[in-house]
């Protein structure tokens, strides 16, 4: 169990840090609130102070002071996570890494780069564009790459390019004792020692503060074709996805958008789509191969009642389509003023996808709840944004029950309680259901690396 830090030690930490950070240490209520509450209905909690770091050496010094005083340390990137990852339930020091935004190296010949943790995905891709390279992981928000690494983020391109787990070569991190480590080399494979990189990817700041990340890069495809394909049902969308993946079609993006999301997109992003379950797709390759992939999927869709099928090759048209998809949360929120949003996700083996999505949809309808569904269905991952009036006890209960059943259903199907949102504080209660006895070993790792439990306490598998 986590233990709050005595306030006198936190006061000492703040006084010591202020002595050399000056105005880069803030105790202003507005700054603290911003660094303790995300966009969803997780309650959040402000830190006692926010330290704006500018280098790994500064992070090391901040952590060393906190370790000496037993003060919690909470890493903060851009604040786009959705499961209470950066709340401070026991107070402490939030380390804001957004000022660490330097691109340290791009090795075009080796298709890799090294960045500080505060660099965002859009910033990196703007820097890479003139070299014909890009970084593919795109969780929607313009998140920091350190935060994406810490939460093992994913996105619309994951079906072809993988998640952060597959695209991080190594990290530099400040551990709980204030020591700086690097978890690996630039080599694409290694058999040397434990895989500390994979341990840090997805650790959500509970083992150390990630300050630099080495990433894989890819060449920008010669041709990119985006497409929109309406279907008569969500089930038909899922079955078309399953067929495409099972036959080995190298689709780069395949996104499910239910009818409620299409309605929201039309209003928010001015798309003018038919209001019906729809797949957004993208194909990468040579001009001939990208079009061949699109035509192959068109044939699959036709057999399942999908169509008419529209394609977009101009960059501005493709950008408008995918920006609408990335704005899904805000689009539905605009339709539900006055209600709290409860964004969640699960992931199942792709063979169970249609069954899981339709069962969730039926549960929502049976309980008279608004919960639009959208998902990276190419890898079995889908999201539900549940809307709730917290002042209505009955609606609140129904939302919580549907949420619980959705997670239990996914785990029972061999899936996970979260494909990409992470655990944070929001899903800690489901780790034991998913991992069973393995959870105890996760906690042993936490105790070994952070015996005083100062690194983002109360999150993920922390004690």
**pLDDT tens per residue, range 113-141:** 999 999 999 999 999 999 999 999 998 78
Q: Which part of the chain has CATH 3.30.70.2740? A: 332-422
CA distances to 53, 77, 87, 150, 199 from 98, rounded to whole Å, are: 8, 6, 17, 14, 23
pTM of the model: 0.93
pLDDT at 2: 54
Structure token digits, residue 22: 């000056």
Report the distance separating Cα 221 and Cα 228, nearest Å.
Answer: 20
pLDDT attached to residue 15: 95
Classify each residue of 240-279 as buried b or exposed e, where b means 16 or more C-beta atoms within 10 Å of its C-beta.
bbbebbeeebebbbbbbbbbbbbbbbbebbebebeebbbb
- How is domain 103-219 classified at the CATH fold level? 3.30.465
Would you state the pLDDT for residue 42? 79
Which residue bears the tokens 């002071």?
A: 65
Which residue carries 């993920």 as its tokens? 460
pLDDT in tens, 249-269: 999 999 999 999 999 999 999
Going by their DSSP bridges, the two strands 133-134 and 218-219 should be labelled as antiparallel
Q: Write out the residue limits of the CATH 3.30.465.10 domain(s) in the chain.
A: 103-219
Q: What is the pLDDT of residue 263?
A: 95
In the chain, which residues fall in CATH 3.30.43.10?
Answer: 7-98
**Cis omega (within 30 of 0) on the bond before 457?**
no
d(CA 224, CA 32): 43
Mark the ranges of the chain whose per-residue pLDDT is less than 70. Answer: 1-8, 462-463
pLDDT of residue 25: 98
* Class in CATH terms, 7-98: alpha beta
Provide the CA 297 distance to its chain's centre, in angstroms.
28
When computed from its CA atoms, the radius of gyration of the chain, rounded to whole angstroms, is 22
CATH annotation of 332-422: 3.30.70.2740
CATH 3.30.70.2190 fits 223-329, yes or no: yes
Average pLDDT, the chain: 94
| Contact residues for 159 (Cβ-Cβ < 8 A; gap 6+) | 245, 251, 252, 253, 254, 376, 378, 379
pLDDT tens, residue by residue, 8-33: 689 999 999 999 999 999 999 999 99
Which residues partner with 282 through β-bridges? 226, 253
Question: What was the pLDDT predicted at 73?
Answer: 98
Partners of 180 in beta bridges: 174
**CA-to-CA distance for 118 and 53, rounded, in angstroms?**
10
What is the greatest pairwise CA distance in the chain? 69
């Amino acid at each position: 169990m986590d233990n709050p830090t005595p306030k006198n030690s936190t006061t000492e930490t703040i006084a010591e840090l202020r002595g050399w950070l000056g105005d880069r240490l803030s105790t202003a209520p507005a700054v603290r609130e911003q660094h303790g509450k995300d966009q969803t209905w997780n309650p959040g909690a402000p830190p006692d102070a926010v330290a704006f770091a500018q280098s790994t050496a500064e992070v090391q010094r901040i952590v060393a002071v906190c370790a000496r005083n037993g003060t919690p340390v909470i890493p903060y990137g851009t604040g786009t996570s959705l499961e209470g990852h950066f709340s401070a339930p026991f107070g402490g020091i939030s380390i804001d890494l957004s000022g660490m935004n330097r691109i340290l190296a791009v090795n075009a010949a080796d298709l890799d780069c090294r960045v500080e943790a505060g660099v965002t995905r859009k910033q990196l891709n703007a820097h890479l564009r003139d070299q014909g390279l890009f970084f593919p992981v795109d969780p929607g928000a313009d998140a920091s790459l350190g935060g994406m690494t810490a939460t093992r983020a994913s996105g619309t391109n994951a079906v072809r390019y993988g998640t952060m787990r597959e695209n991080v070569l190594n990290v530099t991190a400040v551990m709980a004792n204030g020591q700086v480590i690097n978890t690996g080399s630039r080599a694409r494979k290694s058999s040397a020692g434990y895989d500390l990189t994979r341990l840090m990817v997805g650790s959500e700041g509970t083992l150390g503060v990630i300050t630099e990340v080495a990433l894989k890069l890819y060449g920008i495809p010669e041709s990119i074709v985006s497409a929109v394909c309406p279907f008569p049902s969500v089930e038909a969308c899922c079955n078309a996805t399953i067929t495409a993946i099972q036959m080995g079609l190298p689709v780069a993006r395949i996104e499910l958008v239910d009818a409620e999301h299409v309605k929201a997109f039309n209003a928010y992003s001015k798309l003018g789509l038919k209001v019906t379950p729809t797949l957004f797709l993208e194909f990468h390759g040579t001009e001939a191969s990208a079009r061949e992939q699109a035509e192959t999927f068109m044939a699959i869709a036709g057999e399942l009642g999908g169509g008419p099928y529209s394609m977009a090759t101009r960059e501005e048209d493709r950008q408008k389509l995918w920006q609408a998809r990335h704005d899904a949360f805000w689009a539905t929120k605009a339709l539900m003023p006055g209600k709290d949003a409860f964004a969640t996700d699960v992931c199942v083996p792709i063979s169970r996808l249609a069954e899981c999505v339709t069962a969730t949809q039926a549960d929502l309808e049976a309980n008279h709840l608004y919960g639009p569904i959208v998902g990276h269905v190419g890898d079995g991952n889908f999201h539900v944004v549940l809307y709730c009036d917290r002042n209505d006890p009955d609606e609140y209960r129904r939302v919580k029950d549907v949420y619980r059943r959705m997670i239990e259903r996914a785990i029972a199907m061999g899936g996970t309680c979260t494909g990409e949102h992470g655990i944070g504080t929001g899903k800690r209660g489901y780790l034991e259901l998913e991992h069973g006895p393995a959870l105890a070993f996760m906690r042993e790792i936490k105790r070994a690396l952070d015996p005083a439990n100062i690194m983002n306490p109360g999150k993920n598998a922390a004690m």
